[in-house]
Amino acid sequence: MWTVTRALADWYDAVELWVTQLAFPLQVLLAVVVVLPLCLMVAVVLDRVSERLVGGR
């Protein structure tokens, strides 16, 4: 288990280092391309879950 956690932490560190070395406009573009769809997916899932829990009032 610890090796998987360590590998995941190492991968995240490498990605974080790569992103911080990019120029700021590229960082913003990458954040928009990755974060916006992710936020949209989370919002859709939360909307559907809340509709099921409330019963579609």
pLDDT digit string (tens) for 26-41? 999 999 999 999 999 9
Q: Tell me, yes or no, whether 14 lies in a domain.
A: no
In a domain, 53, yes or no: yes
pLDDT score for 57: 61
Round to whole Å and give the CA distance between 50 and 46. Answer: 6
Cα–Cα distance for residue pair 32/37, rounded to 1 Å: 8
CB neighbour list of residue 27: distance below 8 Å, 6 or more residues apart: 19, 20
pTM score above 0.85: no
Q: Does residue 36 belong to any structural domain of this protein?
A: yes
Is 12 a domain residue? no
- In which domain, by residue range, is 57 found? 23-57
Residues lower than pLDDT 70 in the chain: 56-57
Domain count of the chain?
Answer: 1
